[in-house]
Amino acid sequence: MRQIILDTETTGLDPAMGHRIIEVAAVEVINRKITDRHFQRYVNPEREIDEGAKKVHGITELFLSDKPKFRDVLEDFLSFISGAELIIHNAPFDLSFLNQELQFCKRENIDSYINGVLDSLVMARELHPGKRNSLDALCDRYKIDNSKRSLHGALLDSRLLAECYLAMTRGQESLLISEVDNTAETDLSNAIERKPNLFVKRAERDELALHERYLEDLSGEIKENCLWLKKNK
């Protein structure tokens, strides 16, 4: 099973107000293992960044001035996430920005390219009702080192979220055993194929007669026909 842990950084909070993506990142997870493959791009939003957003991620207009536009990285991005399940913390936020960028590029919504979306924030709230379930709170709860997270960053946050998600779903490994490990079944099949040819020695006529006499004597002792004697008849 291929999953993509995804995060974005933006110029503000609302795409309806013209805010845009400035960073998109994704980390690959296959069969519950984080691989060494990831995607990360900074993009020029062609607009100013809200001061409140800068305090969260520290990204400035000057830093982004020579970066590509989202449309320039779109194909690489779609190729990386294609066919996977997306895992996003507070998914409606990121999806609204991604779908806006796709609309600007005259492309279909992101649902057309992926195999569903799992909102890890919703999952965390179900597992820990009434508690804080921000990414930092989850890292503290599951003992995941987030000491390098002085500011938000899409790639770092994706990696941290991947570890948090695996920690939150740790009991699900057994569900994947049949998909990723059929060693026991293979070993059993091999053992059956390797079984030795056994020599079968048939009973002689006098041995069968003795056995028949034994069953008759047994029937006399229990005052009822022996089950095996009935079966033989």
pLDDT digits 0-9 by tens, 62-102: 999 999 999 999 999 999 999 999 999 999 999 999 999 99
pLDDT at site 232: 54
User: What digits encode the pLDDT tens for the residues 15-65?
Assistant: 999 999 999 999 999 999 999 999 999 999 999 999 999 999 999 999 999
- For strands 85-88 and 33-42, give the pairing: unpaired
The model carries a pTM of 0.73
C-alpha span between 94 and 97 (Å, rounded): 5
Domains and CATH numbers, the chain: 2-182 (3.30.420.10)
AA letter at 108: E
| Chain mean pLDDT for the chain | 87
Catalytic residues: 152
Model confidence band, residue 177 (pLDDT cutoffs 50, 70, 90): very low
C-alpha span between 162 and 13 (Å, rounded): 23
Model confidence band, residue 222 (pLDDT cutoffs 50, 70, 90): low
DSSP β-bridge partners for residue 118 = 87
- How many helices and strands (H and E) does the chain possess? 11, 5
